[in-house]
Amino acid sequence: MRKVLAALLALLVLSSCSFGEDKKEESPPAPPDLSAPPAPVAVRQGPFASGPVKAPRRGALVGAWIKPDALTHVGRLAAVDSLQADLGRRLSIVNTYRRFEQMVGTPSDKEFLARGATLMVSWATGDNRSILDGEHDELIRKQAKAIRKIKAPVLLRMRWEMDRPNLRATMWSGADYVAAWKYVRKIFQEERATNVSWVWCPTAEGFIRGDAPGFYPGDDQVDWTCVDVYAGERFEPIGDLMGPFLRWAAQRPKPIVIGEFGVAKAWGSAGRAAWLKDAGRTFKANPQIKAIAYFESDPEGNGPNKQFQLTGDKAAFRAFHRLVRDPYFNP
């Protein structure tokens, strides 16, 4: 009997030890290996019909949004000039944001165009259903005339990131957005604003969730496909973050512009530099990507996971500098 009890006691001890091991906390996941080559994605090789803003046959154009100290003519020029001086090259694309009622063709717009840059206008149009009700026809016609008047090819991102959940109150649905897109484009055609390349630009997260494709207006309506992709809340290789978008875009005969990309300061200088190095390799591995634009800004009120300015971060800026000086990004 004593031997039986001893054996039972040993089993209980073993089982309790095993149970305790099962309850141990798992080790935190290892950071992603950003030194590995980017995963290949089947992409179209081109050439691509891209509207008035022509996609380079080889390589990709480089641009940026640079937040100025003041949203004035002088402030905008100074911000772009400062970054260009630090990079030792001119930007091929200057991204600029406009509210619905703000017209294209400001003095700084004209100055950038005179220097040979292409404007990428990120236009925050309003409520899609009010657009379809005709409430903003006069404003839309005014913008079409303003863009026509500058007589230079323009990349127009009509309500970029339309798939964001926090915009659903004004976007309503994918069907509403598509109808509004076609409505606005028809007005531009009526006003003979033929110098516009229409850029459809959702978020990388929208493709991860799966709802972004529902906002696509159609191949006959879009000149460039686009995606905004950030290592903000999630520090993953850029190829993983925008992989679902790239697989979707490969089915369409359109060039791609990375409308905004950035890596947050929260990930540290070394991490940011590694992410940017990997981004450069990923862009070059996907020849459908014909333009990229960094988001050089620390938006006010955002936490550390949404601060993306590279200036002042020596290691990260050095990595970006190497990227933009690569001959591939100077087609």
pLDDT in tens, 204-225: 999 999 999 999 999 999 999 9
Calculate the average pLDDT of the chain.
Answer: 90
Q: What is the pLDDT of residues 178-188, one digit of tens each?
A: 999 999 999 99
Closest CA to 176 of 127, 140, 135: 127
Tell me the whole-structure pTM to 2 decimals. Answer: 0.88
Residue 171: which of 211, 224, 222, 198 has the closest Cα?
211
- The pLDDT score that the predictor gives to residue 280 is 98
One-letter amino acid of 187: I
Segment 139-168 shows an average pLDDT of 98
pLDDT bin (cut points 50, 70, 90) of residue 23 is: very low
309-330 pLDDT per residue, tens: 999 999 999 999 999 999 999 9
pLDDT of residue 26: 33
- 176 contacts 132 by C-beta, under 8 angstroms: yes
Q: Is 161 a catalytic residue?
A: yes
Q: What is the average pLDDT across 268-291?
A: 98
Catalytic residue chosen out of the listed positions 21, 190, 205, 260 = 260
SS3 per-residue string spanning the chain: CHHHHHHHHHHHHHHHHHHHHHCCCCCCCCCCCCCCCCCCCCCCCCCCCCCCCCCCCCCCEEEEEECCCCCCHHHHHHHHHHHHHHHCCCCCEEEEEEECCCCCCCHHHHHHHHCCCEEEEEEECCCHHHHHCCCCHHHHHHHHHHHHHHCCCEEEEECCCCCCHHHHHHHCCHHHHHHHHHHHHHHHHHCCCCCEEEEECCEHHHHHHCCHHHHCCCCCCCCEEEEEEEECCCCCCHHHHCHHHHHHHCCCCCCEEEEEEEECHHHHHHHHHHHHHHHHHHHHHCCCEEEEEEEECCCCCCCHHHCCCCCCCHHHHHHHHHHHHCHHHCC
Tell which residue, 193, 164, 149, 155, has the closest CA to residue 63.
155
Catalytic-labelled residue, pool 25, 111, 135, 161: 161
pLDDT at 49: 81
Which pLDDT score, from 0 to 100, does residue 17 have? Answer: 35
The answer, yes or no, to whether residue 98 has pLDDT greater than 80, is yes
Q: Is the pLDDT of residue 16 over 60?
A: no
Of 27-31, 75-79, 131-135, 203-207, which range is least confident?
Answer: 27-31
Please check whether residue 38 is in contact with residue 285, taking contact to mean a CB–CB distance below 8 angstroms: yes
Which domains, ranges and CATH numbers included, belong to the chain? 59-329 (3.20.20.80)
Q: Does 190 qualify as catalytic in the annotation?
A: no
